[in-house]
Amino acid sequence: MPGQTPRRKQFLFVDDDLNFLSGIVQLFSEMSKGSWEIFTAENHSQALALLRQRSMDVVVLDLDMPVMDGLQFLRLLARTHPGQQVVILTGRATEESRKLCVENGAALFLEKLITPDGFTAVFDALEVLANAAPQEGFRGMMRRVGLQEVLQMECLGRKSSLLEVFTGKVRGRIFISEGQIIHAESGSLQGEMALYGLLGLRGGEFNLRPFAEPTRRTISGQYEFLLMEAARLNDEGATPLDTASAATAPPESLAGSEESGTRPTAPLLPVSPPVHIDEVLLISGSGEVLYEWQTRSLERRLNFLQQLERKADLLSKLLPAGRFDRAEFSTSRDRIICQVQPEMRLFVRSTSASGATA
């Protein structure tokens, strides 16, 4: 709007080196002549807390940080803040780390050169990235505004647009032409099934882009009926993406079952059915969040799994117990199963109707 002060670019620097952070704030504030607003965080927890409070144009991560390093945090951000511009700024740049970071979504991989020229180069690169023209279209979070509402608005306004929907595991597109939904696709699904699946997602992000003609039109019904059918299926918990992709469904069968691989011989102590799964977190051996569902506090859970793994390692050394498989914790209400395998760690919290005794 005319007369308005231009919005300051928001930068978040994440580094465990406090001297570096304070130097960056001072130097880049001067260099930007006040056009940058710079935030700092000493670790991923602080960074996540800041990102929950405000959006950042660019997040700049150090690679070598305790607890969760920059690469792990980059992967976590890709999951929790898809689309966030992330730059790696490291003093230990290697070709392998560069490749890994770029593959995991880093917009830039910069070397931390503690020289005037080095800082200028970093500043210039970040300035260019932050000033890059925003992509045409709008972005939104599905938790704040329902995908159905967006579709309704587009259809009511007889607009033509392309709605891109994505979560950590699911990506899809819904094509709207002159107020009619004409095509949807998600993974191998197309048509109404893909539409219903996308509308059944419980969270994620979307981009509303200019219309582009799909390769074919697979949906012809009135949008009102399509949205009503999607709502009905959602109420019944029968959205196609939930059934088509096991990774998107809360795996109710996990509690009290033998999940995978070579198992110790004795079964778990029995669980009184019915069991209700309340929370699931699955992370890879390298700490990447592969799947999370209703996780109360991701950071806290990740920290918990790390501590648990350390304790299990210690116990494996103390006792002739063999490989650790899992730990189960029962509270008066909850039952928690934490499985630790070389390639993954799983956290499942459940409640049973009759309490949570192991």
Residue of 5, 266, 343, 353 interacting with other proteins (CB under 8 A)? 266
Residue of 22, 220, 286, 316 interacting with other proteins (CB under 8 A)? 316
Q: Residue 189 is encoded by which pair of tokens?
A: 């699904």
State the Cα–Cα distance between residues 68 and 73, nearest whole angstrom.
6
- The reply on whether position 330 binds other proteins by CB under 8 A is yes
Q: How far is the CB of 295 from other proteins (least distance, A)?
A: 11
- The reply on whether position 67 binds other proteins by CB under 8 A is no
Q: How far is the CB of 331 from other proteins (least distance, A)?
A: 5
Stretch that binds other proteins, among 9-17, 18-26, 234-242, 304-312 (CB under 8 A): 304-312
The dihedral through the CA atoms of 272, 274, 276, 281 has a sign that is positive
Residue of 4, 319, 342, 343 interacting with other proteins (CB under 8 A)? 319
- The reply on whether position 331 binds other proteins by CB under 8 A is yes
- The reply on whether position 304 binds other proteins by CB under 8 A is yes
State the Cα–Cα distance between residues 167 and 1, nearest whole angstrom.
33
Residue of 320, 342, 343, 353 interacting with other proteins (CB under 8 A)? 320
- The reply on whether position 183 binds other proteins by CB under 8 A is no
Question: What DSSP assignment string belongs to 91-160?
Answer: SS--HHHHHHHHHTT-SEEEE---SHHHHHHHHHHHHHHHHSPPPSSEEEETTTS-HHHHHHHHHHTT--
C-beta atoms surrounding 131 within 10 Å: 11
Residue of 324, 345, 346, 352 interacting with other proteins (CB under 8 A)? 324
Q: Residue 170 is encoded by which pair of tokens?
A: 């699911």
Contacts (CB under 8 A) with other proteins, residues 129-148: none
Q: How far is the CB of 215 from other proteins (least distance, A)?
A: 48
Site string for other proteins, 209-248 (x = CB under 8 A): ----------------------------------------
- Find where tokens 């799983």 sit: 346
Stretch that binds other proteins, among 55-63, 65-73, 118-126, 307-315 (CB under 8 A): 307-315
State the Cα–Cα distance between residues 45 and 284, nearest whole angstrom.
19
φ and ψ at residue 322, rounded to 5 degrees: 80, -165
Q: Residue 246 is encoded by which pair of tokens?
A: 């096991």
Contact 305, 347 (CB under 8 A): yes
- The reply on whether position 1 binds other proteins by CB under 8 A is no
Q: Kindly state the number of chain residues that form the binding site for other proteins, as judged by CB under 8 A.
A: 37
Work out the angle at residue 103's Cα, subtended by the Cα atoms of residues 98 and 104, and round it to the nearest 5 degrees.
100
- The reply on whether position 268 binds other proteins by CB under 8 A is yes
- Find where tokens 């950071």 sit: 299
Stretch that binds other proteins, among 82-90, 124-132, 250-258, 303-311 (CB under 8 A): 303-311
Instruction: Give residue 57's identity as a one-letter amino acid code.
Output: D
State the Cα–Cα distance between residues 128 and 4, nearest whole angstrom.
22
- The reply on whether position 267 binds other proteins by CB under 8 A is yes
- Residues found near other proteins in the complex (CB under 8 A): 264-270, 300-301, 303-304, 307-308, 311-312, 314-316, 318-332, 334, 336, 357-358
